[in-house]
Structure 1
Amino acid sequence: MDQLTGTLAGVDAVIFDLDGVLVDSEQTWDEVRRAMVAEQGGQWREEATRALQGMSTPEWSRYLVAELGVPLTAEEAADLVIGRMAQRYEQGPPVLPGAEQAVRAVGEQCPVAIASSSPPVLITAFLEATNLTGLVRIALSSEQVRAGKPAPDVYLEAAARLGVAADACIAVEDSTNGLRSALAAGMTVIGVPNPHFPPDPDVLAEVPVVLADLAELPDTVRRLLN
């Protein structure tokens, strides 16, 4: 689907999601959370996988305790999960093929930022592994705003820190809650659906541009800039 005509008068920045867009980590988050819940005697629910995607750390850790029965405090649950994720990243985060190149190519055209539900330590791991720290002007975790995705807070704050209007930004997203968040922020959304956890078709139908591969992104951005 490509509805570029009349989508945007001008682009001032591109804001990337991280998990599922630049890093192949959605399955890892799911595995780590499921294992921790089982070990602690909680009960996993199948709807939990999609519900948790996009939540900030305080939100998903409370969900593990209140909804899935993990007998810990939310802070303890978060520490366990993030610690195990950090261990998985010790040999380098699972950067998706072409992700670094796409960010660099887009960054040559306009300012770029990251607005992610991952904690800052994992965002930093990605930036350091790809040497993108100097190029990505703002790297924001939803821990640093009032509410995680699908609320628009992290995208609105990233745009504000870049000093650009939200409606002059492109957001690149993959998940249902991420797409909802960027749409609610009033941004032009480019969807790159996660093949492991495809977004809700009704939500994806609201997205003006859907790409099969991140490699298509630089040319798509170039068309929106012209």
Structure 2
Amino acid sequence: MTTPQAIVFDLDGVLVDSEPVWEEVRRGYVADMGGTWRPDTQDRLMGMSTDEWADYLAGDLIGGDVTSDQVAYEVVDRMSRRYAVEVPIMPGAVEAVRRMADFRPLGLASSSPRALIDLVLGRLGIAGLFRTTVSTEEVDLGKPAPDGYLAAAARLEVPAGECVAIEDSSNGLRSAHAAGMRVVAVPHPRYPPAADAAALATLKIKSLDELTPDVLTGLEGRA
């Protein structure tokens, strides 16, 4: 394994502390629609594409006449209105992206819908630092399938095995590993990955402040 030639970031839980917001918004929406939020719902939703989580909310948690398209539109609208007020940035996120952009080409593979990816990166002032961004809306399957990461590598014109992914969640770690990438895990303190998923990481760091060119250069020779 050589030194990584490209870096692919996840968005939710890595650059933006959005998982608590997603949980609050979707949980509130399910309650407003008369549905029932289950104990394992948040873990199941993390990494799903928009179509996948909208189908799950509509069919498994809400039922009735609500459609998946309606669920997706209304939940994303609620998220957009929250982000218009404040984007909850993870500590060191903007600095890490700027630091890494000076080292290697950057991509992003996110489960967020395209509208939210563009809104968030624009609000943070870092959209232009990414050579490509991929929403799982734009591939066949969301995480833990590798589709999003494979698409990002293809658009970067770098083999997936020469990319390193920066991830936090169980499904994200599984997705990047399945794509053949080395993975740096930055676990979210509130939503830590499952032990089997965490074991897939090439390296675990406590915060984005630890993500440096020297750290990634040190991955050479590590699978």
TM range (shorter): over 0.9
- Contact 2:107–2:152 (Cα < 8 Å) also in 1: yes
Structure 1: tracts of 5 or more residues without a match: 1-7
Amino acid at match of 2:22: W
* Count of aligned residue pairs for this structure pair: 219
2:92 matched to which residue of 1?
98
Q: State the partner residue of 1:111.
A: 105
The whole-number CA distance in structure 1 between the counterparts of 2:174 and 2:42 is: 16
Give distance in 1, aligned partners of 2:217 and 2:130: 18
The answer to whether structure 1 residue 20 and structure 2 residue 13 are counterparts is yes
TM-score by length of structure 1 reads 0.93
Distance, in Å, in 2 between the alignment partners of 1:113 and 1:50 is 25
The partner residue of 1:38 within 31, 34, 37 is: 31
Output aligned runs, 1:1-226, within 5 Å: 8-71=1-64, 72-218=66-212, 219-224=214-219
Contact 1:109 1:222 in 2 (8 A): no
Q: Please, which runs of 5 or more residues in structure 2 have no aligned partner? A: none
Distance 2:8 2:25 in 1: 27
Superposed CA RMSD: 1.3
**Distance (whole Å) between structure 2 residues aligned to residue 44 and residue 147 of structure 1:** 24
Task: Identify the range of structure 1 (159-168 vs 84-93) with the bigger mean alpha-carbon deviation.
Answer: 84-93
Asked if the contact 1:20/1:174 (under 8 Å) is kept, the reply is yes
Sequence identity percentage? 48
Cα offset, 1:206, TM superposition: 2.1
Deviations 1:88-117 (A, max 9, x none): 000241111210100110110100011000
Question: Take 1:86 and 1:46, find their aligned partners in 2: how far apart are those partners?
Answer: 26
Q: How many angstroms apart in 2 are the aligned matches of 1:166 and 1:92?
A: 34
Equivalent position amino acid for 1:112 in 2: L
**Following the alignment from structure 1 to structure 2, what is the Cα–Cα distance between the partners of residues 34 and 92?**
19
Q: Contact 2:4–2:217 at 8 Å: present in 1 too?
A: no
Shift of 1:133: 1.8
* CA deviation map 1:38-94 (0-9, x unaligned): 110111111111000000000000000111124310000001110000000002411
Structure 2 counterpart of 1:123, one-letter code: I
SS at match of 1:67: helix
Report the Cα offset of residue 130 of structure 1: 2.0
Task: Answer yes or no: is the 8 Å Cα contact 2:3–2:216 preserved in 1.
Answer: no
Q: Check the 8 A contact 2:50/2:112 in 1, yes or no.
A: yes
In structure 2, C-alpha distance between the alignment counterparts of 1:52 and 1:40, rounded to whole Å? 18
